[in-house]
Amino acid sequence: MAITIALAGNPNAGKTTLFNQLTGSNQYVGNWPGVTVEKKEGKLKGHKDVVIADLPGIYSLSPYTLEEVVARNYLINNRPDAILNIVDGTNLERNLYLSTQLKELGIPVVMAINMMDVVEKNGDVLNLEELGKAMGCKVVSISALRNKGVAEASALAVAEANGKNDTVVQHKFSEQVEGAINSIENLLEGNVPESQKRFFAIKLFERDDKIRNEMPEKAKNLDVESIIAAVEKAEDDDSESIITNERYNYIQSIIDAAYVKRAQKGLTVS
C-alpha cells in the first residue's frame, strides 16, 4: 500500500530544494482544495509507492496565515504516515518552534537539519544525538543544495512511516499546565482518536477556535473554560502566552544542550 510522507518546514528552510532532490521530475503541481495555495506532490525517487506531499512553508501550526491553516488541516484530517521536518540549522530557535508542535500531532517525525554546509563553515557544532534525545525523534543532518544526507533522511522517514511505532512525546509543560492538559485529554477520551488527543487538548487549552471547529462534534462542544481559567489565574497570564513561553524555554534548553557556536567553543578552550 502507498505511504505518504509530508514535507514540512519554515519558509526558506530549503524545502523546495529538498522536494526536488527527493522527487526529481516526478512532480504534480496543483492547488490545495478551495484556496490558491500551491500544492505539490511527487513520488519519492526509486519508490513507486511513496508519495511526498509538500506542505506550504509555515512558522507554526497556529492559524495566523492561510498557509498555516492549509498545512494544519491537512495534517489533522489526512494524517500522513510520517512527517519529514526540514529545519534550517542556521536558525534553530525559530525553526524548532514548528518542530515542537509537529511532534505533538502524534505522527512520526524525522527531523532533517538542513544548511549543514553553512553551519560547518561557520565553525558551529550541532550535537544530533542530544537534539534527537531532546525532541524524541530521529534527526539527520543534510545539505539539500549539495544533496548530502538526503537519501538517509528519506530512508528514515520511510522506515518511520512503515513502522507502526508509537510516537514519543518528549516535551512536558510545567506541572500545572500538564495537569490542565491531562484533564482536557480525559474529557476528550473516546471523542477523538487516541493519537490526536494531546494535540487537541493543547489547542483547546490555547482557546484555538479554528482547531475546535475541525474536531468531531462531541469534542467540539466540551466546556474546558474553568480548567483554563484556573491556570491563567495562578500564572497571571493568558493560556496562549503560557504555552508559547514554555515552548520557547524548552527550545532554549535544547539549544543549550545541542548547539555549540564557534564563539562559545573559543571560550571553553583554556
> Residue positions in the annotated binding site for Mg(2+)?
20, 23-24
Cell of 13: 528552510
Least CB distance to ligand BGO at residue 43 (A): 19
- Nearest alpha carbon to residue 8 among 70, 58, 76: 58
Least CB distance to ligand BGO at residue 112 (A): 10
Element (H, E) at 224: none
- Residue entry with cell 522506515: 159
When the beta carbons of 57 and 108 are compared against ligand BGO, the nearer one is: 57
- Binding-site residues sit at 9-16, 20, 23-24, 34-38, 54-57, 114-117
When the beta carbons of 87 and 251 are compared against ligand BGO, the nearer one is: 87
When the beta carbons of 9 and 106 are compared against ligand BGO, the nearer one is: 9
Q: Is 45 exposed, middle or buried (0-12, 13-18, 19+ CB in 10 A)?
A: middle
Q: For binding to ligand BGO (CB under 6 A), which residues are involved?
A: 9, 11-17, 57, 114-115, 117-118, 143-145
- Binding-site residues for GTP sit at 9-16, 34-38, 54-57, 114-117
Least CB distance to ligand BGO at residue 135 (A): 20
Give 87's strand partners.
113
Packing angle of the helix pair 239-258, 225-235 (nearest 10 deg) = 60
Least CB distance to ligand BGO at residue 217 (A): 37
When the beta carbons of 41 and 117 are compared against ligand BGO, the nearer one is: 117
Q: How far is CA 55 from CA 16, 29, 37, 40, 185, in A?
A: 10, 12, 10, 8, 28
Least CB distance to ligand BGO at residue 148 (A): 8
Least CB distance to ligand BGO at residue 134 (A): 23
- Nearest alpha carbon to residue 219 among 243, 182, 193, 181: 193
- Nearest alpha carbon to residue 202 among 221, 217, 218, 224: 224
DSSP-derived pairing of the beta strands 82-88 and 109-114: parallel
Q: What is the dihedral of CA 95, 101, 103, 105, to 10 degrees?
A: -140
